[in-house]
Chains A and B, each alone.
Chain A
């Protein structure tokens, strides 16, 4: 039950990260969809000219992608949300320049701690390996274990792991919501000119 809480909370975080990114880019593609906010670790060394959109995808959206850029980029795997590094990378390229606070929220140690324990549960049956030792080093939350020792879970530890991540998600939602609300209220330059009849 405790381990499924850890795994479930990570899945909730991962789902939120992907869905929130997509919803935000869909709602405000200008600035976000260019993915130029920072270096994307997943894309390091690749030359992505952003020209590879299959025609059938455009047809699917009736050749109007102005409200589905997030969905499109996610489905084309320009960004991924399967691991913490990928999530941080995806937010950095989209929000790094526009809303750097978002990236700082994701740098919080809470998702890292949850991800480390989740991986140990799912991939190593809670038995400490070198990867866990490397990732837990210096952490005040994660217990320091010997190689081969089993990580024991209890309610207090699980709460320490999951609650800060849920709070992190709330901060993420509120920050992007506030930014989006503010940005959508200000007319874009083109719309302004059109409105003024220039």
Chain B
């Protein structure tokens, strides 16, 4: 997959969000409000896929390690497919086991409550965030969700 460098878009255009507060005339203030709304919509569109890609990047080492432990190797061939299809359902539990192992604490833990709360605060719109969590739930159904924004 090509590297789209989506993380570069993080906090993109953040500098213009406060422009309304610096204006004195109501006429220009009204125009600025529309402009900031438009820019915010564009930026949130970019944030969601960027966030998902970042997430998969964080999660990948755990996924690869869990698969290695289940199948016994990193690269799968056509012969491994039946076994992989059987093991696929065990992957969430295996991933959790890998992440909870003290010796593997160097793995990023992207699904920790702290991390999720950080994401929720980082300007991702509530709706997009919930959509993202639906995606996450397919990978990690047992995780607590109480920190999610309303």
Partners in one complex: yes
Residues of A within 8 A of B (CB): 1-2, 4-5, 8-9, 11-12, 15-16, 19-20, 23-24, 26-27, 152-156, 158-159, 162-163, 166-167, 169-170, 173-174, 176-178, 180-181, 184
A12 touches B35 (CB 8 A): yes
Contact indicator A174/B35 (Cβ below 8 Å)? no
Q: Identify which of A12, A16, A162, A184 contacts B12 (C-beta below 8 A).
A: A162
Q: Are A177 and B25 in contact (CB under 8 A)?
A: yes
A82–B57 alpha-carbon span in the complex (Å): 41
Asked if B28 and A177 sit within 8 Å, CB to CB, the answer is yes
Instruction: Evaluate contact between A20 and B31: CB separation under 8 angstroms.
Output: yes
| Selected A-B contacts with CB under 8 Å, 22 pairs | A5-B9, A5-B45, A9-B39, A12-B35, A12-B38, A15-B34, A16-B31, A16-B34, A24-B27, A154-B3, A154-B5, A154-B8, A155-B4, A155-B8, A155-B9, A155-B50, A156-B8, A162-B13, A166-B39, A173-B31, A174-B23, A180-B25
In Å, the complex CA distance between A107 and B88 comes to 57
Q: Which of B14-22, B58-66, B92-100, B140-148 is the interface stretch?
A: B14-22
Of B4, B29, B49, chain A has the most CB atoms within 10 Å of the CB of B4
Smallest CB separation, B18 vs chain A (Å) = 9
A5 to B45, CA, bound (A): 8
Whether the pair A23, B30 counts as a contact (CB closer than 8 A) is: yes
A156 to B29, CA, bound (A): 30
Contacts of B31 in A (CB 8 A): 16, 19-20, 23, 173
Is B76 an interface residue, CB under 8 A from the partner?
Answer: no
Cα A155 to Cα B47 in complex, Å, equals 11
Contact partners of B9 in chain A: CB under 8 A: 5, 155, 158-159
| Beta-carbon nearest neighbor of B38 in chain A | A12
Chain B minimum-CB-distance residue to A8? B42
Contacts of B70 in A (CB 8 A): none
B24 and A178: CB pair below 8 A?
Answer: yes
Q: A4-B45, A155-B9 are in contact. List 5 more A-B contacts (CB 8 A).
A: A1-B49, A24-B27, A173-B23, A178-B24, A180-B27
Find out whether the CB atom of B8 lies under 8 angstroms from the CB atom of A19.
no
Q: Let me know if B6 is at the binding interface, CB within 8 A.
A: yes
From the candidates A2, A4, A152, A169, name the one contacting B35 in the complex (CB within 8 A). Answer: A169
